[in-house]
Amino acid sequence: MKVKLISAPYLVWMAVFIVVPLIMVGYFAFTDGNGHFTLEYIADVAQYTNIFIKSIWLAAIATVICLVVAYPVAFILTRLETKVQGTMLMIVMLPMWMNFLLRTYAWMTLLGNNGLINRLFELVGIGPFKMLNTEGAVVLGMVYNYLPFMILPLYSVMVKIHKSILEAAADLGCNSRETLFRVVLPLSLPGVNSGIIMVFVPAISTFIISRMLGGGGNLLIGDLIEMQFLGNSYNPNLGAGISLVLMVIILLIMTIMNQFNDDDDKVLL
């Protein structure tokens, strides 16, 4: 029908600006500077296995922390009065609207050896701790920046759990803890699912957080890629190779995550 044609401009756009660039990444990854096919760059990516492992590891830790912290927050929010819920949600989400860089920069100033936190420690008498430029700082940065992305999906799923279900569970003899684990938890899994994806993917590929809070000695995948294109080691082929491997890893993770998701609406693979 003619209606389909109306989406034609977008389809063209999509092909040119989504599909073709990805093909370009593949092209650059598998060719050398002169256009000849080579596996050299892809093979070189193996040198950085430990960076991949580190990125996945740190992102996983950050995701778990986010989940643990955000779950109670989302749950508590849903149990508030309806009037207050909207406002409280807004208050919790507000930091997310602040510029990402500024928020990360704020932690840089707080965690420094002469920063506010260490000064407070000094007042109490405990020596200054090295907090900035460590892996811990990077994880902290990830948690701080991506926490709202975990709270939101959890909240939107939990808010749909009708109060009567919880009351029914209580009627059937569950105490609070059992209700939480046997009723709320399973029902909120789709939210957990989205939350994990929304935190893990940006966390694994960030370069700003690791650069600003990691001190340049804690390279992550994002830093590596950035270095190959706009940084100190110009090598677009290697950069494309690393990007390709990153995409494949994420593809795998998402497929696994979607196993747990029976939602009809989910059209992602």
Q: Which residue among 97, 127, 164, 173 contacts another protein (CB under 8 A)?
A: 97
Q: Which residue among 61, 207, 209, 260 contacts another protein (CB under 8 A)?
A: 207
28 binds another protein (CB under 8 A): yes
Q: Which residue among 31, 44, 56, 156 contacts another protein (CB under 8 A)?
A: 44
135 binds another protein (CB under 8 A): no
In whole angstroms, the minimum distance from the beta carbon of 102 to another protein comes to 5
Name which of 196, 212, 215 is nearest 141 in CA terms: 212
Neighbours of 80 (CB within 10 A): 13
138 binds another protein (CB under 8 A): no
Q: Extract long-range pairs of 217-221: CB within 8 Å, 24+ residues apart.
A: 217/133, 218/54, 218/133, 218/134, 218/135, 218/138, 219/51, 220/51, 220/54, 220/55, 220/58, 220/138, 221/48, 221/51, 221/52, 221/55, 221/246
Q: Which stretch binds another protein (CB under 8 A): 90-98, 153-161, 165-173, 178-186?
A: 90-98
Q: Which residue among 136, 144, 154, 196 contacts another protein (CB under 8 A)?
A: 144
112 binds another protein (CB under 8 A): yes
51 binds another protein (CB under 8 A): yes
235 binds another protein (CB under 8 A): yes
Name which of 113, 110, 107 is nearest 140 in CA terms: 107
Binding-residue total with another protein (CB under 8 A): 120
Q: Which residue among 32, 35, 102, 182 contacts another protein (CB under 8 A)?
A: 102
108 binds another protein (CB under 8 A): yes
Amino acid at 193: N
Q: Which residue has the tokens 């092209």?
A: 27
- Please check whether residue 70 is in contact with residue 195, taking contact to mean a CB–CB distance below 8 angstroms: yes
Q: Which residue among 136, 153, 195, 202 contacts another protein (CB under 8 A)?
A: 202
β-pair partners for 37: 31
127 binds another protein (CB under 8 A): no
Name which of 18, 63, 48, 55 is nearest 206 in CA terms: 55
Q: Is 201 helix (H, G, I), strand (E, B) or coil?
A: helix
Q: Which stretch binds another protein (CB under 8 A): 21-29, 154-162, 164-172, 186-194?
A: 21-29
234 binds another protein (CB under 8 A): yes
Neighbours of 239 (CB within 10 A): 23
21 binds another protein (CB under 8 A): yes
Q: What residues from 177 to 196 belong to the interface with another protein (CB under 8 A)?
A: none
- Please check whether residue 138 is in contact with residue 65, taking contact to mean a CB–CB distance below 8 angstroms: no
Q: Which residue among 68, 84, 116, 126 contacts another protein (CB under 8 A)?
A: 116
β-pair partners for 31: 37
91 binds another protein (CB under 8 A): yes
Q: Which stretch binds another protein (CB under 8 A): 60-68, 163-171, 184-192, 251-259?
A: 251-259
